Structure 1
Amino acid sequence: MDLQALKVFQTVAKMGTISAAARELNYAQSNITTKIQQLENHLQTTLFHRHNRGIILTSKGESLLIYAKRIFRLIDETNKVMKDDQTPKGPLMIGSMETTAAIRLPALLSKYHQGYPDVDLTIITGPTEQHLHGVLQYELDGAFVSGPIEHPEIIQETVFEEELVLITDMKQPSLSSLKEIENRTLLVFRSGCSYRAKLEDWLHQEGVVPNKIMEFGTLDAIIGCVAAGLGISMLPYSVVAKQINGGTLRQHKLPNPYGKVDTLFIYRKDKYVATPLTKFLNLLSEEKGLGEARNLIQI
């Protein structure tokens, strides 16, 4: 099979029109059409339905697109394997929940950068659902997410255990019942956030319907607005300990199973673990071991 024709097919499927694919690849439209026809003749099937506004994939075209993505992913991975001389260098894409990135990762990332300065490390923050999708689609090398995660294509390791607390402004007295905050606004990250899902599940189980839900894009915005009395939220204690101890937020303990959550590091089973990710996993394991040892000393 002609790999160039397969790449043209993939680009046409992505762009939706022959003309857009031609601009993307810097080809003449006639060359794009010829490559598609050659591929259809080789496979003896029709890959696109043509219409006035462009083209859409046939069922066979949709199947071929799945295999094309696998083929080019394997080619890319093969190149990485052949070029990997066990020297930590090149790109490393890691996803993280914003709370984890803000509190748990700075020291780890600093140590990694100092040890492996030739690695182009990128941290992308977002909710668990987004990062699981990114890992599964080979867009991320790995990610810190909230557990539990059950997926046959994922390797996971528990790296932190977080205590979750309900937070309010200081004017809110200690809660004897969730009904006391039924008319408060819920301040949360966008859909896909595991902490939001836990809070909504808890409220649902208790029969409490929040007055309003407001979505925020940053951790600082949620903490600041809760402190100002705009509403309530649920976050890891490690994230808000400073504000709680400083008297700007009030914490309210949560019952099991809502009060504890594991932070996992996940990556794909079938993906080649390149040297940059191997070193990251090793450092993560070392830091986890040191943390457990410190906890034992404190006990």
Structure 2
Amino acid sequence: MELNDLKIFQTVATCGSISKAALELNYVQSNITARIKVLEKELRTPLFYRHKRGMILNPEGKRLLEQSRGILAGIERVKRTFQDKSNPSGVLEIGIVETVMALPDILSSYCRKYPNVELSLKAGVTEFLLQQVIDMKLDGAFVTGPIRHPLIEQVEVIQEKLVLVSKEKTFSMEDITQRPLLLYNKGCGYRERLESWMKTAGIIPKQIMEFGTLGTIIGSVSAGIGITIIPESSIADLVAKGTVFCHSVPEPYHEITTIFIRRKDSYTTSTLQCFMDEIVARASVKQTFFS
């Protein structure tokens, strides 16, 4: 069994068709088909349900997908072991929640010091990014903390103040029951804080509208569509212009901590170690600490 066959298999499983996998890998379709057949012959079992629209993993295929991820991840860790520790290079895949205001400083400093590293950023909510780190699809991620998981270690990056944001200068609790709440999708740490507060206070919102990006949420609040909850620092410029207004969130729901997480049992590459060193250096300036 060749490692490249496992890579081809993973791509077909992800894309759901031979044609899409061929485009992704820049292979001819006949080559993809042949390698899948070789793999199925070696394992003496079909790996896919085949239909007119593409291919879906069968139970044996799902089992191989899980095992192949571990195999290929192990090979990648071996390769990275031999990287030049003093001059890291390669790809560093980092997840981010969109409102991490300390991120530009960290990224710019890191990129200046290590120009041979290619940074790949994936935005998402905390729950999604946590799972991506656990599945080793990301080297690490900036998320809302704290995170309590046996496979995760974390570095505190910054503590911030959560505020409600609206178009109107005046605000009362009744507004939450009369105006739509504009929130990130489920799994967002800010949304969880707000929902915990509302549950404790017995507040039932009129409507929750879900969005995938900070820009869309802020734009909708600015247009007077509804109310949101985000870190105060992320909308300081708009508040200064009078475009939107901030309103306080009561204790203990008003403080939010951004942390950087990684899977503790994964190999720490030189690219990741240098990145974490940069986080700790920046965090010490802001008088934060290692969790």
TM-score normalised by length of structure 2:
0.83
Residue of 163, 179, 183 corresponding to 1:184:
179
Alignment partner, residue 71 of structure 1: 71
2:224 aligned counterpart, secondary structure: coil
Q: CA deviation at 1:11?
A: 4.9
Alignment partner, residue 296 of structure 1: none
Larger Rg: 1
Q: Is the 8 A contact 1:8 1:35 kept in 2?
A: no
Q: Is residue 39 from structure 1 mapped to residue 42 from structure 2 by the alignment?
A: yes
Alignment partner, residue 197 of structure 1: 192
Distance 2:122 2:57 in 1: 32
Alignment partner, residue 109 of structure 1: 107
Q: Is the 8 A contact 1:155 1:268 kept in 2?
A: yes
2:120 aligned counterpart, secondary structure: strand
Q: CA deviation at 1:33?
A: 6.0
Q: Is residue 242 from structure 1 mapped to residue 251 from structure 2 by the alignment?
A: no
Corresponding residue pairs, total: 284
Alignment partner, residue 140 of structure 1: 138
Residue of 95, 110, 130 corresponding to 2:128:
130
- Supply the RMSD in Å over aligned alpha carbons: 2.9
AA matched with 1:150:
R
Residue of 269, 272, 279 corresponding to 1:284:
279
Q: CA deviation at 1:9?
A: 4.7
Distance 2:243 2:42 in 1: 65
Alignment partner, residue 202 of structure 2: 207
Over 3 Å counting, the alpha-carbon distance change for 1:272 and 1:254 in structure 2 is: same
1:248 aligned counterpart, secondary structure: coil
Gaps of 5+ in 2: none
Q: Percent identity?
A: 39
2:260 aligned counterpart, secondary structure: strand
Over 3 Å counting, the alpha-carbon distance change for 1:211 and 1:121 in structure 2 is: same
After TM superposition, the structure 1 = structure 2 runs for residues 202-281 of structure 1, keeping only pairs within 5 Å, are: 202-281=197-276
Distance 1:21 1:220 in 2: 33
Q: Is the 8 A contact 1:18 1:33 kept in 2?
A: no
Is the deviation greater in 266-275 or in 76-85? 76-85
Distance 1:129 1:265 in 2: 13
Q: Is the 8 A contact 1:167 1:251 kept in 2?
A: yes
Q: CA deviation at 1:17?
A: 6.0
Q: CA deviation at 1:104?
A: 1.7
Is the deviation greater in 132-141 or in 211-220? 211-220
Alignment partner, residue 62 of structure 1: 62
Q: CA deviation at 1:64?
A: 2.7
Q: CA deviation at 1:35?
A: 1.1
Distance 1:33 1:124 in 2: 30
AA matched with 2:67:
Y
Is the deviation greater in 12-21 or in 218-227? 12-21
Q: CA deviation at 1:14?
A: 4.3
AA matched with 1:287:
R
| 1:63-85 deviation digits (Å, cap 9, x = unpaired) | 23211111111112211222444
Q: CA deviation at 1:287?
A: 1.1
1:209 aligned counterpart, secondary structure: coil
| 1:2-61 deviation digits (Å, cap 9, x = unpaired) | 5455455545544556777678653457734651343124xxxx3436566576555444
Alignment partner, residue 97 of structure 2: 97
AA matched with 1:170:
E
AA matched with 2:261:
I
Alignment partner, residue 47 of structure 2: 48
Distance 1:205 1:212 in 2: 18
TM-score normalised by length of structure 1:
0.81
2:109 aligned counterpart, secondary structure: helix
Alignment partner, residue 147 of structure 2: 149
1:257 aligned counterpart, secondary structure: coil
Q: Is the 8 A contact 1:143 1:267 kept in 2?
A: yes
